[in-house]
Amino acid sequence: MANTNIKYESRVCPSCGCSDTGNVSVSSKHPAEYFDLDDLQSHWNGFFKEKVIFSYSRCAKCHLLYSPTFFSDGQLEALYAQMPDNTAGVPLEALEKTQKGYFNILKEYKFEKGGYLETGPDIGLFTKNIISNPALKKFWLFEPNRTVWPTLSKLADSDRLHLSAEMFGFSEVPDQSISVAVMIHVLDHLINPVEILKKLRMKMAPGAVLAVVTHDESSLLAKITGNGWPAYCLQHPQLYSPKTIRALMKEAGFNVVQVQRTVNYFPVTYLFKHLLWAFGIRINVPSWDALQIPLKLGNILTIASPE
Ligand SMILES: [Zn+2]
């Protein structure tokens, strides 16, 4: 620990570019900036006893909560490359219900005829809700995990579906051709969110709809659990609130039309088991996934449109 030779990146505010931050707002007992890279690897994957995160501070200008010290691009690439799949634990049916909830908000909007673009669709739990919309002619899915491609390619005919392994390799997408774009739990992970959003904006038609799901650092859950909130982790160089995501979208040339708190579904037995575990009681609870309850876990859905 405390290897001062290891250099992480120094960052200004990734939203407004201001370098002025106040005191540290959230950190761990031993902040990540004092660890060397090898030691952070096990913390990255979540297999650890003690939580270690890079300290988060608040931008003095736009109030975004971000880590002024974070992994470099190259370090991140290596960390993501060795990461195991992370959907384990919650049954598929509950995950599907959560995604359907996002879709039910988005479907209130009118889609112009055009293309659909999604980054990180995984197995397409959200995508399959929207795929039958007659306004959408072509589907551009950007998914680096090739093991899910066989599942994704079943969603539509090959002449309508375009798969790419590069998360933000939008160059083949014709400018102003996209009428709906979706990013679910992507924006919290990016060290350069404004740059990526600007790239995306060029591909979007006037009047197009962008739907983004992120964590909400201003949520009650985040306030109650403090630095124990699961979204405070090594994979999130910044976290948004309804206020700061509006400012970020504006920087990238989008107008926010709606920010809504969303629900995640969990089976009752899953929650009961974890509640018992929290009290140190490790027993097997019979798995009965039929009864699922919605919880507001500090996620927000932002709907925006190119300016
Ligand atoms: Zn800022």
Distance (angstroms) between ligand 1 centre and the Cα of 76 equals 22
What the block records as the tokens of 298 is 């500090």
Q: Does residue 2 form part of some domain?
A: no
Distance (angstroms) between ligand 1 centre and the Cα of 23 equals 14
Tell me, yes or no, whether 297 and 276 share the same domain: yes
Tell me, yes or no, whether 168 and 118 share the same domain: yes
Query: What is the pLDDT at residue 70?
Result: 97
- C-alpha to C-alpha distance for 278 and 291, rounded to whole angstroms: 21
Tell me, yes or no, whether 72 and 146 share the same domain: no
In the listed set 81, 108, 139, which residue is the last one of a domain according to the structure? 81
Tell me, yes or no, whether 51 and 153 share the same domain: no
In the listed set 81, 109, 144, which residue is the last one of a domain according to the structure? 81
Residue 37 has pLDDT above 70, yes or no: yes
User: Can you give the residue range of the structural domain that contains 29?
Assistant: 9-81
In contact, 139 and 131? CB cutoff 8 Å: yes
Tell me, yes or no, whether 113 and 255 share the same domain: yes
Question: For 143-201, how does the pLDDT look when each residue is reduced to its tens digit (9 = 90+)?
Answer: 998 999 999 999 999 999 999 999 999 999 999 999 999 999 999 999 999 999 999 99
Residue 263 has pLDDT above 80, yes or no: no
Q: Does residue 1 form part of some domain?
A: no
Tell me, yes or no, whether 166 and 276 share the same domain: yes
Instruction: Outline where DSSP puts E strands in the chain.
Output: 9-10, 21-26, 56-59, 65-66, 69-70, 114-119, 136-142, 161-164, 178-184, 204-215, 238-239, 254-267, 292-306
Rounded mean pLDDT, 284-288: 62
Distance (angstroms) between ligand 1 centre and the Cα of 56 equals 13
DSSP assignment letter at 216: B
Distance (angstroms) between ligand 1 centre and the Cα of 18 equals 5
- C-alpha to C-alpha distance for 293 and 307, rounded to whole angstroms: 38
Distance (angstroms) between ligand 1 centre and the Cα of 17 equals 6
pLDDT, the chain, mean: 89
Query: What is the pLDDT at residue 4?
Result: 47
pLDDT: which is higher, 280 or 219: 219
Question: What is the domain count for the chain?
Answer: 2
What residues does 216 pair with on adjacent strands? 240
Tell me, yes or no, whether 140 and 34 share the same domain: no
Q: Does residue 87 form part of some domain?
A: no
- C-alpha to C-alpha distance for 155 and 298, rounded to whole angstroms: 30
- Using CA atoms of 247, 119, 9, 69 in order, give the dihedral in degrees to the nearest 10: 50
Tell me, yes or no, whether 115 and 211 share the same domain: yes
Tell me, yes or no, whether 163 and 262 share the same domain: yes
Question: For 209-256, how does the pLDDT look when each residue is reduced to its tens digit (9 = 90+)?
Answer: 999 999 999 998 888 888 888 899 999 999 999 999 999 999 999 999
Residue 2 has pLDDT above 60, yes or no: no
Distance (angstroms) between ligand 1 centre and the Cα of 235 equals 20
In the listed set 36, 51, 81, which residue is the last one of a domain according to the structure? 81
Tell me, yes or no, whether 19 and 152 share the same domain: no
Distance (angstroms) between ligand 1 centre and the Cα of 169 equals 26
Tell me, yes or no, whether 39 and 153 share the same domain: no
Tell me, yes or no, whether 25 and 130 share the same domain: no
What the block records as the tokens of 282 is 């490790």
Distance (angstroms) between ligand 1 centre and the Cα of 185 equals 21
Distance (angstroms) between ligand 1 centre and the Cα of 239 equals 12
Q: How many DSSP H helices and E strands does the chain contain?
A: 9, 13
- C-alpha to C-alpha distance for 141 and 181, rounded to whole angstroms: 10
Domain of 275, CATH number, reads 3.40.50.150
Distance (angstroms) between ligand 1 centre and the Cα of 245 equals 11
Distance (angstroms) between ligand 1 centre and the Cα of 25 equals 15
User: Quick one: pLDDT band at residue 7, thresholds 50, 70, 90?
Assistant: confident
